[in-house]
Amino acid sequence: MTRRQGNMFDEYERADLFCVTANSYVRDDGALTMGAGAAKQLRVWMRPQPYAGRLGSFVEMECGHLGVYGLLEADGRIALFQTKTHWKQKARLEVIGKSAMQLIKWTAKHPRGTVYLNYPGIGCGGLQKSRVRPIIEELPDTVHVWTRE
């Protein structure tokens, strides 16, 4: 992986796959819960399009409410990198591991593709970088992992 610092949304056009950490909590209205962190930033950034509803539909088709999808290519260049199922939970290392493995498979199919991903599990996920780092260090250098520090 390649470490980057700043606002990855400012660099959106440079990524072939733009990954944002998320959960799989689909609300009663069919929208994916995107109330905090990078998921909220994506929801706000995509306005006026009702993006949470579209993503909720993708999650429902892939794994259902509170299921585990791992990495979900949702819309063109945008993908969800799952870190937990319920929005109230802390991020779970096994879910991050599944998402990372699926991202490694994506990069094997797209060896020249540049991937942007916010550092998974450390913000609203509540984990320490030291716990997540061993999982994501296996990501190839074409995956740029962003922090705002």
H/E segment holding residue 60: helix 51-62
* pTM (whole model) above 0.75: yes
- Number of neighbouring beta carbons within 10 Å of residue 80: 28
pLDDT of residue 1: 96
Please tell me the least confidently modeled range out of 18-27, 40-49, 53-62. 40-49
Domains and CATH numbers, the chain: 2-147 (3.40.220.10)
Backbone torsions φ then ψ of 79, nearest 5 degrees: -135, 155
Task: List the strands of the sheet with 71-75, edge to edge.
Answer: 2-5, 143-147, 115-118, 17-22, 78-82, 71-75
Q: Distance of CA 68 to CAs 6, 64, 83, 113, 144, Å?
A: 29, 8, 9, 25, 23
Per-residue pLDDT tens over the stretch 50-106: 778 889 999 999 999 999 999 999 878 999 999 999 999 999 999 999 999 999 999
Kindly indicate the confidence band of residue 118, based on its pLDDT and cuts at 50, 70 and 90: very high
